[in-house]
Amino acid sequence: MKRRPPQQGKGKGLAAPSGRPQLLRLHNRTLILSLLRQQPLSRAELSRRAGLALPTVSRLVDQLIRDGLVEEGQKQATGGRHATRLHLRAEAGFVLGAELGRDQISVVLSDLQGGVRAQAGQPRGETAEHDVARLATMAGGLLKEAGVDPRRLVGIGVGVPGPLDASAGTVIQPPNFRGWSYVPLRDLLRERFRVPVWIENDANAGALAEHVLGYPQSRNLAFVLADAGVGAGLVLEGQLYRGAGGAGELGHCPVQLGGPPCPCGRRGCVEAIASTDAMLERFAALRHQPAGPAPAGFDDLLAAEAAGDPLARQVLARGGRALGAGLAILANLVSPEVVVLGGRSIRSPSFLQAARRELGRRRFGTGEVKLATTQLGRTSVARGAALLALQGLFQSPFTMGAEALPPSGPVPQGAGG
């Protein structure tokens, strides 16, 4: 196989090592698909960007067209010649992105270009088995709603609260996450759906979604999920940052010495003050019964704030200050260009204003940090999980393994219903 030097910053095709031509074809096939996922290209453009000889590219493209993964578009004039642009067929395969939140399961069905075809949300169950079964039921409903053959499901991504072993796909024992202790989630989903599965920390999945869909020009971004738990996902220099495996545990940074106990066993953590559960418990403890019944859920606390209840505003502002103190630690350490907030807490004006003020008060340095709220609603983690699955599917077999490759065939092999 003839090899051309690739353009700077583009893909890199490989010459076949002795005895491994099949693996080479898989690698180059995946590279072509990855380039076409970014934008439509002609065969000549693919050849230049992939660093592969034009005849090699043509053979790969012809096979991808036969497999139903690529289609030819209209001819366009380029340099005096009319070249046919090739497109990735978005509907050739689909992925599920899911968030297993502390109170709700959210699922989106995305095509190969990341377009959302259907989405749904339901309350969580009492055990991991209930949640996996519910996720499967929701997945079947979304496939039916979108009119998608279940055999076209080619991958699943799931965002869950940490701690977890992402390499093994095991959810270890997240605080305030009933029914989950050392659950092999990836294996359970693989067994049920028969497709590749990727498990990621929920805040990391949200950070990926915000980086790709919300702030693609930001090289350094943090996504902070402020809900029943508090966590941060980091994109540094354009890449998702995981550290040694536990990066982003913002909720367990201490911000008040001798503060209230945290579910993690320590005291004064951000989560012990700023989580929705912590704020709800404090409101109930401080409220005198003659003033009215304590709210049953966080939505009731938000309603009390909207009605002008001073105690509700006080409690929510206290939670916001704790989060702002944590955000200042984050900003001082990694200096992101933008911090995106998600979760139910951002629906509170008192919470948001207090967080913003505290971040400004404690922030050290001259660089401005933009504090924004997510525009993806409650689907940021689920959409990020879908993007994670797509990234895995379009990665090289040398880095992700052959099982992560898009299937070859007009109908991808996957879950059977």
Q: Which residues pair with 120 in a beta bridge?
A: 107
* Low-confidence winner among 138-142, 157-161, 173-177, 352-356 (lowest mean pLDDT): 173-177
pLDDT score at 174 = 87
Structural domain boundaries in the chain:
21-88, 93-206+379-404, 214-376
Q: What token pair was written down for 173?
A: 């024992």
Rounded CA separation 164/90 (Å): 32
Q: What token pair was written down for 283?
A: 């409101």
pLDDT category, 38, cuts 50, 70, 90? confident
CB atoms within 10 A of CB 184: 16
In the chain, % of residues over pLDDT 70? 86
Which long-range contacts (C-beta less than 8 Å, at least 24 apart) are formed by 4-12?
A: 4/47, 4/48, 4/51, 4/52, 4/53, 5/51, 6/48, 6/49, 6/50, 6/51, 7/48, 7/49, 7/51, 10/35, 10/48, 10/49, 10/50, 10/51, 11/35, 11/49, 11/50, 11/51, 12/50, 12/51
SS3 content of the chain, % helix, strand, coil (to 5): 45, 20, 35
Q: What token pair was written down for 180?
A: 């989950």
Rounded CA separation 157/394 (Å): 14
For tokens 């003839």, name the residue: 2
Rounded CA separation 167/89 (Å): 30
pLDDT score at 75 = 66
pLDDT score at 323 = 98
Q: Is the pLDDT of residue 291 over 80?
A: no
Do domains 21-88 and 93-206+379-404 share one topology? The answer is: no
pLDDT per residue over 186-198, tens digit each? Answer: 999 999 999 999 9
Q: What token pair was written down for 367?
A: 């660089």
pLDDT category, 13, cuts 50, 70, 90? low
Q: Which residues pair with 267 in a beta bridge?
A: 261
CA separation (Å) from 405 to 54, 96, 149, 336? 23, 16, 19, 33
pLDDT score at 409 = 42
pLDDT per residue over 359-395, tens digit each? Answer: 999 988 767 789 999 989 889 999 999 999 999 888 7
End-to-end CA distance of the chain: 41
pLDDT per residue over 106-131, tens digit each? Answer: 999 999 989 999 999 999 988 999 99
Q: Is the pLDDT of residue 255 over 90?
A: yes
384: CB partners within 8 A, 6+ apart: 97, 157, 159, 200, 204, 205, 206, 207, 208, 209, 210, 212
* Cβ-based burial of 122 (10 A; exposed 0-12, middle 13-18, buried ≥19): middle
Cα–Cα nearest to 319, from 297, 331, 301, 340: 301
13: CB partners within 8 A, 6+ apart: 3, 4, 6, 27, 28, 31, 50, 51, 52, 56
Mean pLDDT on 344-352: 97
- Element of type H or E holding 320: helix 310-334
pLDDT score at 175 = 80
Q: Is the pLDDT of residue 399 over 60?
A: no
pTM above the 0.85 mark?
A: no
In the chain, % of residues over pLDDT 90? 57
Give, in degrees to the nearest 5, the angle at Cα 241 between 188 and 215: 100
Rounded CA separation 170/320 (Å): 32
Mean of the per-residue pLDDT values for the chain? 85
Three-state DSSP at 314 gives helix
Q: For the structural domain made of 214-376, what CATH number should be given?
A: 3.30.420.40
Q: At the fourth CATH level, which superfamily is domain 93-206+379-404?
A: ATPase, nucleotide binding domain (3.30.420.40)
Mean pLDDT on 50-76: 85
Rounded CA separation 213/207 (Å): 10
Query: What class has domain 21-88?
Result: mainly alpha
Rounded CA separation 393/156 (Å): 10
Q: Is the pLDDT of residue 403 over 90?
A: no
Rounded CA separation 135/247 (Å): 27
Three-state DSSP at 129 gives helix
- Element of type H or E holding 82: strand 81-88
pLDDT category, 82, cuts 50, 70, 90? low
CA contacts within 13 A on the Cβ side of 383: 23
CA 68 to chain CA mean position, Å: 27
Rounded CA separation 326/79 (Å): 54
